[in-house]
Structure 1
């Protein structure tokens, strides 16, 4: 079942699917999936209430009409208990979190509350009384945390997007391990009003999506200032006449120096990251080596500095009053063994500012920073045997972000080879790091590089589907790869098909032609090809680089049309747009 937001909205608006039909199917799948994904699920009564409200509306009237989503159990949703994976802590909120209400007002349907590392303390997804969630791709390995359930709900095909939180990597590590896109937004642009705090000054609501287009769509809808949230910030694109920062044409990306990269002995992850760097260069980015040490030194302050006491401020008293209800690792991290002198708080803030100053100098050299999302992965049993050190390893590339006020986007980046004899490969992901409010610029980068990591079909267009031409709208969901030319082996004819003039390119000439290369999923490509009218078809064409891609070609009947004066040889022009200008 296609659960991408654009696919569902299209199906609803064409009346080939209803939200009620979709939800009936999804709840059947939810029953088959690991029970540990959920803390609580939407009841039949709740679901019927949501659906009746939608059925009274036109599918065109709401941007998230009938889109199913899941909510991490430290984010309030009216009608559900919030437990933060601690049943003794459970309460029923009187209203939904700001972000949840906003998304539901846009038509999204909550399917339930998802499992998590207790009190959002962990990157492993095993610190929960509701159980550890098996990784869909490699079941003996962790799904990542603390937003493990929200990521798994998406990975197992149970919803279209999900909400997590991210203080130290909880919205990125699970994305990497589950082959998902994970948005760690700029602090404050998504309200944390209605979120059980971990570190209130650092917490972010995060978004898990199936692709970067859905991530962009949900982020744009969810972003809004909340007057009741002291840490809420106005995003530049929400200001009058404001706009989001976008990626420049000549963009650069920073990669940590070789001796600062850490893969914890995982050669498959190291090789996968090296391949990812080459992909970013192929997609048009210029690699620049940066010094990563100040970022790492800032990261250490999260658990070695005063911010661990901010976690205690959030739930420390409850932990002391209910010690038997708390996971032992969670208790060890949040409950301090000793209390430092109050001056240590200021020492921590001063140290962070010093590291930030140095980190900013490094960041000024590039548009974005590229790192692995995680340096390795672990079996569930390994994490349970060595919980604190392995968790710390997973935070190597994530812990500094919110301290330094950066934005981040985790994206799938192929697979990593495994040294485990029982596993051939793992999902692998990289993280794009931006400064505050660079969120949409990071999504621009994802749009450029994602086709190189996917199994999408690349194809070239040369006429009415080019940018600015009448049929370009048919490529709305396609990824643009590059603008280039064919090898000098073709002829081009123009002919009229209805009201729209079109080209027919045939093999056997000596001319090159301007083409644009796009990528679609196999299913989308099949639908696209099915609508191609004769005398056009889809075959293999050679680009000037020598690469073969699918592309529009004409059959030999175009030569007869030319003899009859119904088609014109325009080979000398080399570009369909030049012909259009000549009309």
Structure 2
């Protein structure tokens, strides 16, 4: 019997099963050149062991998994193998003889699994991206709990050849990254039909973004298991999606919830047993609990019971399909709450099930999904949401997910690094647009904002100008408006702005609405980029109040309403 490895001394020990001193690479050229990635330990890397967090099962891989080979060919380098819930059976990251992987923000809490080690390495900035797998949410829950992006492609889009199955018919290779744009680049390099993978397929991806005014489904049953911080965070997420042009639509969650229950509470669990049957039947004592019990339960079903479960799943899929007549995508919390490692050890089955409240149905019903960071809660723990679309909606989810992520203003993972500027989503056909910075009455929620939204404009980001401007409250304007005046470089203030993206075909009609003394000119933002934006003519500030020190129009109005500033 193989001895259990010693417990890890640090979080890094727990996350990495094998970290290479010299990364594996095949070329220095390609779209991913210079990037390093970690690989979950159920995915083969030639010359390295694959243990699936079960040392007795381990073998040395003779060749790379197809996804690893494609990423190497694209110029990326393998940095090592990462810890996981054993045999990819779990959503919490504590079911491993190599030790539990802690949350990247607070080591008392679970990281989420089964792709826990891969998520931790990305959240801590140790690699540029990482590969995980996702059968029931393992590529999403760790992302949501660690403030990173978790991209779960449509089934069959990325080859799973060379990946130890968990439940082969629903398995996906997943991608963790600090930004949506990078995750999308990796997916683009990794995807492609593979005739040697029985579940690979040729998918036609939808190349157009979601409509300017989109509809997003919200479950009529929302559970957070007593976590009011998570409940409030999801309400904030719905509000942010409204600002981006979305309209929430309540959907019947019952068929999704019932489909999710089939994964472990029906004969469908037999597929998990089938994946490791040859090893498990002779070595069950080398498998940790509760993984051992879950796999063993799959061995007792009859063929007729599996057929019955598959038919039940198809019936639920038909019921769930009705929601797509009313929505463009579905939005759910990635995970409903956080649990400590101690709590998870005390009640490993029920709490693990809770973490999958919004994930288990996705692959069973053949959907694509993207988990994006949403907020850092008052207790310092991350909260994420998942955008879910029909199979083939991967590019649409990435486009909306990137806009949402950048609207949060969050850092990258558990680092202090700010998000970089949004980047193009490979493969997405984007119509001609213009970026416009607004500073006053056109801000979200203000009187003239409908002039943007009715033209299909999308909120891209909240940011600041370069320190080259002064802001004035212009007298006699209805509704009240500020004027932004450019002065000598570095001699002014950083002024809060919102950057919107408008279809070019609508831009002319918008500019025609701009009254003097306001005008549209080129503005320089804090990151050095340039966009179109509102300015004012110099003569208009002669009788105007300089409000630059407030940092923005919204802050000035808030203090004015509180009587801290006399009305103009």
TM-score by length of 2: 0.75
Among 251, 259, 263, the alignment partner of 2:224 is: 263
Question: Are 1:171 and 2:153 matched, yes or no?
Answer: no
Among 163, 185, 191, the alignment partner of 2:153 is: 185
The correspondence of residues 371-410 of structure 1 with structure 2, limited to 5 A, is 371-410=332-371
Question: Are 1:438 and 2:371 matched, yes or no?
Answer: no
Contact 1:271–1:416 (CA under 8 A) maintained in structure 2: no
Among 251, 254, 263, the alignment partner of 1:293 is: 254
Partner residue in 1 for 2:487 = 554
The correspondence of residues 306-321 of structure 1 with structure 2, limited to 5 A, is 306-321=267-282
Give the match's secondary structure for 1:574: strand
Deviations 1:87-132 (A, max 9, x none): 1111111110001000001110111000000000000100101101
Question: Are 1:284 and 2:245 matched, yes or no?
Answer: yes
* Distance apart, 1:452 and its partner CA: 2.5
Give the match's secondary structure for 1:178: coil
* Distance apart, 1:519 and its partner CA: 4.0
* Distance apart, 1:223 and its partner CA: 1.1
Distance 2:202 2:479 in 1: 46
Question: Are 1:425 and 2:380 matched, yes or no?
Answer: yes
Partner residue in 2 for 1:7 = none
Question: Are 1:38 and 2:16 matched, yes or no?
Answer: yes
Partner residue in 2 for 1:13 = none
Contact 1:183–1:215 (CA under 8 A) maintained in structure 2: yes
Deviations 1:360-392 (A, max 9, x none): 102321000111011111010111111111111
Partner residue in 1 for 2:468 = 537
Distance 1:68 1:428, change over 3 A: same
Distance 1:342 1:478, change over 3 A: closer
Among 182, 207, 211, the alignment partner of 1:248 is: 211
Bigger relative contact order, structure 1 or 2 (CA pairs below 8 A, ≥6 apart): 2
Among 324, 327, 330, the alignment partner of 2:291 is: 330
Distance 1:295 1:186 in 2: 17
Contact 1:482–1:516 (CA under 8 A) maintained in structure 2: no
Distance 1:431 1:548, change over 3 A: farther
Partner residue in 1 for 2:303 = 342
Distance 1:330 1:552, change over 3 A: farther
Question: What CA RMSD, in Å, does the superposition of the two structures yield over aligned residues?
Answer: 3.5
Partner residue in 2 for 1:215 = 183
Distance 1:96 1:547 in 2: 60
Question: Are 1:140 and 2:108 matched, yes or no?
Answer: yes
* Distance apart, 1:339 and its partner CA: 2.1
Q: Which has the larger share of helix?
A: 1
* Distance apart, 1:40 and its partner CA: 1.3
The correspondence of residues 104-123 of structure 1 with structure 2, limited to 5 A, is 104-123=72-91
Give the match's secondary structure for 2:386: strand
Distance 1:516 1:195, change over 3 A: closer
Between 1:334-343 and 1:34-43, the stretch displaced more is 334-343
Question: Are 1:453 and 2:408 matched, yes or no?
Answer: yes
Distance 1:542 1:265, change over 3 A: farther
Distance 1:337 1:487, change over 3 A: closer
* Distance apart, 1:310 and its partner CA: 0.4
Q: 5+ residue gaps in structure 1?
A: 1-30, 238-242, 418-423, 457-473, 490-511, 530-535, 557-569
Partner residue in 2 for 1:18 = none
Distance 1:269 1:71, change over 3 A: same
Partner residue in 2 for 1:465 = none
Distance 1:369 1:546 in 2: 38
Contact 2:208–2:396 (CA under 8 A) maintained in structure 1: yes
Distance 1:33 1:389, change over 3 A: closer
Distance 2:219 2:459 in 1: 32
TM-score by length of 1: 0.73
Contact 2:219–2:332 (CA under 8 A) maintained in structure 1: yes
Give the match's secondary structure for 1:445: helix
Distance 1:488 1:361, change over 3 A: closer
Between 1:320-329 and 1:94-103, the stretch displaced more is 320-329
Partner residue in 2 for 1:563 = none
Distance 1:202 1:545 in 2: 55
* Distance apart, 1:218 and its partner CA: 1.1
Deviations 1:116-171 (A, max 9, x none): 00000000100101101121211100000000000001111100000000000000
* Distance apart, 1:552 and its partner CA: 7.2
Distance 1:42 1:254, change over 3 A: same
Contact 1:487–1:545 (CA under 8 A) maintained in structure 2: no
Q: 5+ residue gaps in structure 2?
A: 1-8, 412-419, 426-432, 443-450, 490-514, 523-531, 534-568
Distance 1:138 1:377 in 2: 11
Contact 1:74–1:84 (CA under 8 A) maintained in structure 2: yes
Give the match's secondary structure for 1:402: helix
Distance 1:87 1:286, change over 3 A: same
Deviations 1:201-229 (A, max 9, x none): 00000000101111121111111111211
* Distance apart, 1:413 and its partner CA: 0.5
Distance 1:451 1:481, change over 3 A: farther
Runs of 4+ in 1 over 6 A off after TM superposition: 478-482, 512-517, 541-549
Contact 1:432–1:442 (CA under 8 A) maintained in structure 2: yes
Partner residue in 2 for 1:236 = 204
Partner residue in 1 for 2:168 = 200
Partner residue in 1 for 2:566 = none
Distance 2:481 2:79 in 1: 45
* Distance apart, 1:306 and its partner CA: 2.0
* Distance apart, 1:345 and its partner CA: 1.2
Give the match's secondary structure for 2:344: helix
Distance 1:547 1:303 in 2: 58
Give the match's secondary structure for 1:234: coil
* Distance apart, 1:62 and its partner CA: 1.4
Contact 2:369–2:394 (CA under 8 A) maintained in structure 1: yes
